[in-house]
């Protein structure tokens, strides 16, 4: 199991605000992708705002922190729901091997710069260089989304 890096203290409250804003249909949050997974211990549904990377014909999620709770829930459940706007899609989450994750990781800071900046600011990576992100292979979980 990779070491766990604690996310910034503000991340959970900001995610909670985003989820409430999305529920009320406020602004751009209406289209905010949310991954819904059962908790691995309680089975209670957990809602996590995510960034979906569309890359080479596939859709991918990256755990922004080694040991992220949602990634552990995804491993345990294997399936979940991806909600974007009013659309909900049942998805299978397939964890990528370290080798499979490298091209996805290289694309992340280029295509999802805001998420990459959060990772840098939290100390997960020292910079936003694609090679730096590629070095996260095997540390930060990457998942391919497939229809369930």
Residues 6+ apart with CB under 8 A from 37: 45, 46, 48, 70, 73, 74, 77, 80, 81
Sign of CA pseudo-dihedral 92, 120, 99, 76: negative
User: So what's the pLDDT on residue 29?
Assistant: 83
* Res. 122: pLDDT tops 90: no
DSSP-assigned letter for residue 140: S
pTM over 0.95: no
User: So what's the pLDDT on residue 91?
Assistant: 98
* Res. 1: pLDDT tops 60: no
| 114 torsion bin: left (phi>0), alpha (psi -120 to 50), beta (else) | alpha
User: So what's the pLDDT on residue 3?
Assistant: 66
First vs last C-alpha separation in the chain: 26
- 101 burial type by CB count under 10 A (0-12 exposed, 13-18 middle, 19+ buried): buried
Give the tens place of pLDDT for each residue, 5-64. 778 888 889 889 999 999 888 888 888 999 999 999 999 999 999 999 999 999 999 999
């Amino acid at each position: 199991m990779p070491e766990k890096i604690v996310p910034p203290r503000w991340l959970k409250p900001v995610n909670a605000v985003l989820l409430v804003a999305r529920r009320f249909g406020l602004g751009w949050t209406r289209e905010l992708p949310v991954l819904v997974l059962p908790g691995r211990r309680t089975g209670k549904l957990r809602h996590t705002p995510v960034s979906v990377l569309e890359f080479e014909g596939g859709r991918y999620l990256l755990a922004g922190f080694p040991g992220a709770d949602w990634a552990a829930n995804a491993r345990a459940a294997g399936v979940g729901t991806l909600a974007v706007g009013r659309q909900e899609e049942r998805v299978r989450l397939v964890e990528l091997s370290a080798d499979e994750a490298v091209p996805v990781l290289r694309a992340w800071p280029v295509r999802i710069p805001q998420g990459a900046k959060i990772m840098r600011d939290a100390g997960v990576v020292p910079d936003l260089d694609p090679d730096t992100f590629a070095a996260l292979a095997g540390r930060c979980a990457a998942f391919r989304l497939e229809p369930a």
